[in-house]
Amino acid sequence: MGRCGVVLACLLCWCSISYAAPLAYVTGNVAGWKVIHQGAAIPAQEDMPLVAGDILMGGALSKLPLVLHPLAQALPREGGGVVLQPQEVAFDSLWTVVPQYVEYLRKEPLQGLAYSREDTVLRPGTSASLLPGYSVDLVWVGEPKSLVTVRDEQGGIVLQKQGEGGWVRLQPQEVSLLAEGRRYFWQPESQSVPFYLQLLPRASATVILEGLKQLDADRSVQEEVRLVRKAAYLRLVSDLRPGIDLYWLSVQLASGVRGESMMTERYLKVVDRLKEAYLRHLLS
């Protein structure tokens, strides 16, 4: 298959939620509703996650006490109730479900993980994807002043940069020195173990950058809302596409949302959930 064929094949790839991941959460008036999970019936409870194959029964289908992931569907079931199933969307169309995904995230239950500013940047132990055109901060614990070296898989030095205060920023022109799709390792001279990163292959990066562009082009919403949507899009991509890890960039974008108007204040809940997703990823 030629290069154009490879790119086309990537663009036509489909995304769907893992069968083990939540497709919906129970919310609202749960009185009289029950969930059938793996054959066992239990009373529905507020914030209960539902996965593929779960059945919700007990009331009118028009009043389902559910918040559905945009890539999930509640299908009417013979005998009553609905059964939860994932649905697919083309990778290059994933950005189109982001407005619905943001509303889903507003209602996604928080797990109460602690969060700090340092969690918005790459740090040792993180295997991260890089996007062309975006800078990235490399952060470490220990000696604050250190020379950072980025090497290829053969050990060759790609670039070196002096860090201050326990971090160093790679500018977009420096990120562009990395070859797409290849593994690189970065290491402060004060650390004995290198850490991995990768510039995304062009086919994937092209789709993601176009999605970000489309979300930013919607001038019917405020700038901070567009920022939330772009951050949510990067989490969604990272959740659904193996080998793509842009949680760190999702949180960096989301950290720019201040909720300075009534319109954007309600999106601070989404920011909290994006931060938690990144922490769960770091701890996994």
Task: Calculate the alpha carbon distances from 6 to 52, 56, 107, 112, 204 in Å.
Answer: 31, 42, 38, 42, 11
**Confidence (pTM):** 0.85
82-86 β-sheet, strand order? 40-43, 34-37, 55-57, 82-86, 72-76
Lowest mean pLDDT among 40-44, 106-110, 117-121, 164-168: 117-121
pLDDT at 1: 40
**pLDDT range class, residue 276, cuts 50, 70, 90:** confident
Q: Is 109 helix (H, G, I), strand (E, B) or coil?
A: coil
pLDDT at 283: 77
The pLDDT tens digits of the residues spanning 207-217 come to 999 999 999 99
The pLDDT tens digits of the residues spanning 93-111 come to 999 999 999 989 988 877 6
pLDDT at 5: 43
Residue type, 68: L
Q: Is 43 helix (H, G, I), strand (E, B) or coil?
A: strand
**Helix H or strand E encompassing 101:** helix 98-107
Which among 271, 248, 239 has a CA at the least distance from the CA of 118? 248
Cβ pair 268, 257 in contact under 8 A: yes
